[in-house]
Structure 1
Amino acid sequence: MSFDRNIKIAPSILAANFANFGAECEAIEAQGADWVHVDVMDGHFVPNITFGPATCAAIRKHIKGVMDVHLMIAPVDPYIDAFAQAGADVITAHVEAGPHIHRTLQAIRATGAKAGVALNPGTPADAVAELLDLTDLICVMTVNPGFGGQKFIDMSNKIRALRAMIGDRPVHIEIDGGVDVNTAPLVAQSGADVLVAGSAVFRGGSVSAPEGYGENIRNIRAAAAGVYA
Structure 2
Amino acid sequence: MFPQSEVSTSPPTRRVKLAPSLLACDFTRLGEELTRIRDADWAHVDVMDGLFVPNISFGLPILSAARRASPLPMDVHLMIERPERYLRDFAEAGADSLTVHVEATPHIHRAVGMIRELGKRAGVTLNPGTPLEAVRPVLPDVDLVLVMSVNPGFGGQKFIPQSVERVRTLRRWLDELGSAAEVQVDGGVTAHNARLLADAGATVLVAGSSIFGPDGPEAGIARLREAVT
Q: Give the TM-score taking structure 2 as reference length.
A: 0.90
Task: Point out where structure 1 has 5 or more consecutive residues left out of the alignment.
Answer: 206-211
| Pairing partner for 1:220 from 213, 221, 224 | 224
Q: Which amino acid aligns with 1:171?
A: A
Match of 1:199 in 2: 209
| Pairing partner for 2:77 from 65, 70, 77 | 70
Aligned partners of 2:213, 2:126: CA distance in 1, in Å? Answer: 27
Aligned partners of 2:66, 2:73: CA distance in 1, in Å? Answer: 12
**By how many angstroms is 1:224 displaced?**
2.4
Match of 2:184 in 1: 174
SS of the residue 2:71 aligns to: coil
| Pairing partner for 1:57 from 36, 61, 64 | 64
The answer to whether the 8 A contact 1:124-1:158 is kept is: no
**By how many angstroms is 1:111 displaced?**
0.7
The answer to whether the 8 A contact 2:125-2:135 is kept is: no
Match of 2:6 in 1: none
Aligned partners of 2:86, 2:19: CA distance in 1, in Å? Answer: 23
Runs of 4+ in 1 over 2 A off after TM superposition: none
Map 1:1-229 to 2 at 5 A: 5-29=14-38, 32-154=39-161, 155-167=163-175, 168-205=178-215, 212-225=216-229
1:79-129 CA-to-partner distances (Å, cap 9, x unmatched) read: 100000001000000111111111110011111111000121012222121
Q: Which amino acid aligns with 1:202?
A: F
Aligned partners of 1:43, 1:5: CA distance in 2, in Å? Answer: 36
SS of the residue 1:139 aligns to: strand
The answer to whether the 8 A contact 2:19-2:40 is kept is: yes
**By how many angstroms is 1:65 displaced?**
2.1
Give the fraction of aligned pairs with identical amino acids, expressed as a percent: 50
Task: Point out where structure 2 has 5 or more consecutive residues left out of the alignment.
Answer: 1-12
**By how many angstroms is 1:188 displaced?**
1.0
Aligned partners of 2:61, 2:223: CA distance in 1, in Å? Answer: 33
Cα RMSD (Å) of the superposition? 1.3
Q: Which amino acid aligns with 2:139?
A: L
Aligned partners of 1:14, 1:65: CA distance in 2, in Å? Answer: 16
**By how many angstroms is 1:179 displaced?**
0.3
Q: Which amino acid aligns with 1:185?
A: R
Match of 1:208 in 2: none
Q: Give the TM-score taking structure 1 as reference length.
A: 0.90
**By how many angstroms is 1:67 displaced?**
0.6
SS of the residue 2:86 aligns to: helix
Deviates more, 1:124-133 or 1:162-171: 124-133
